Structure 1
Amino acid sequence: MNLVRFENPRYNVNRTLVDELFNNFLRNDYHENYVNKCGASPATNIFETEKEFKIEVLLPGFVKEDLQLNVHKNVLTVKVEKEEKENDEVYKYAHREFGAKNFEKKYRLPKSVDTEKISAKFENGILNIELPKKEEALKKEPVEIKVS
């Protein structure tokens, strides 16, 4: 006797509809509270060339003075702290999808990165971090492996 999973198409349509309604209803409150407490993680792009790694971090709504960068034990930490302004107005948010929130993001760096020569530039809401590779890493030639 074979066990076959029962899938009634009519039930699946209703289940999907109910799941979406509850998820959307609950997600907004939960999502907003989670973001307010933990902070949102910004979008990041990471590139590698022969000579360096590059990290782009999208940080709209921040200024250069809000950023803190440091490297400790091959871990690059990008931290943003912005003081929240108290709103004296009577308005309360009915729905809120964006805001500049504090966050901290860490990147484990490969040993080939020269941590002494890391540079960063912030313009137009994008943080560009350049992580040059060490000279030894650039000079490595491929090692041929013989198959026996």
Structure 2
Amino acid sequence: MTLVKFNPAKNTASVNPWFTDVFESVFNDSVLTDRLVSRVPAVNIAESDADFQIELAVPGLKKEDFKISVDKNILSISAEKKNENNQEGKKFSKREFSYTSFVRSFTLPDTIDHAKIDAAYVDGILKLTIAKKEEAKVQSREIAVQ
């Protein structure tokens, strides 16, 4: 005996394929989904013996758009940018504003040095370097066998 699963999408498509196609195109429209989806920048986090590096992919912003703060062991990175196209003397029937903002927060370990946090924004990448405390750095040495 063969088990056949019921798939309502296939059955309604065979009855009225136009009906299914219209709703799929509306709900899968990239313009609609781009506006509904919250945009959070991608992050790379790396650790070396001396520090941590955090890189955020945030193209199209300026260094003045960023706000970086540390409160206890929480590092918060936020940005806000408003684009308004003001054109005098025109009557608009449709006018769209572009508004971009995000907030990312990271819990920092106790081994970091709060006084040595640097940030640089180059080519759409925000890079933060967070130094470790001297006592937290891994010190390697060779141990002789006796």
Return the TM-score normalized by structure 2: 0.68
1:22 to partner: Cα distance: 4.6
SS at match of 2:110: coil
Q: How does 1:103-122 map to 2 (within 5 A)?
A: 103-122=102-121
Report the structure, 1 or 2, having the larger strand content: 2
User: Take 1:131 and 1:65, find their aligned partners in 2: how far apart are those partners?
Assistant: 20
* 1:50-65 → structure 2 map (5 Å cutoff): 50-65=49-64
Q: Quick check: which one's helix share is greater?
A: 1
Residue 75 of structure 1 aligns with which residue?
74
Q: CA deviation at 1:25?
A: 2.5
Contact 1:82 1:101 in 2 (8 A): yes
Partners of 1:62 and 1:100 within 8 A in 2 = no
Q: How many equivalent residue pairs?
A: 127
| Rg larger in structure | 2
1:109/1:5 Cα in 2 relative to 1: closer, same or farther (>3 Å)?
Answer: farther
Determine the C-alpha separation between the residues in 2 that align with 1:126 and 1:104: 16
Match of 2:26 in 1: 25
Deviation at 1:79, TM superposition (A): 0.8
Measure the CA separation in 2 of the matches of 1:136 and 1:91. Answer: 64
Q: From the superposition, tell whether residues 48 and 22 of structure 1 become closer, same or farther in structure 2 (CA, over 3 Å).
A: farther
Show the 5 A alignment for 1:122-133: 122-133=121-132
Amino acid at match of 1:116: A
Spell out the pairing of 1:3-14 with structure 2 (5 A cutoff): 6-7=4-5, 11=7, 14=10
Large movers: runs of 4+ above 2 Å? 4-8, 11-15, 17-25, 27-35, 86-93
Letter of the 2:111 counterpart: S
Cα distance in structure 2, aligned partners of 1:121 and 1:105: 17
Structure 2 unpaired stretches of 5+? 141-146
Give the root-mean-square deviation of aligned CA atoms.
3.3
* TM-score under structure 1 length normalisation: 0.67
Q: Which has the higher contact order (CA 8 A, sep 6+)?
A: 1
1:34 aligned to which of 33, 36, 60? 36
State the AA in 1 paired with 2:131: P
2:55 partner amino acid = E
Percentage of pairs with the same residue: 30
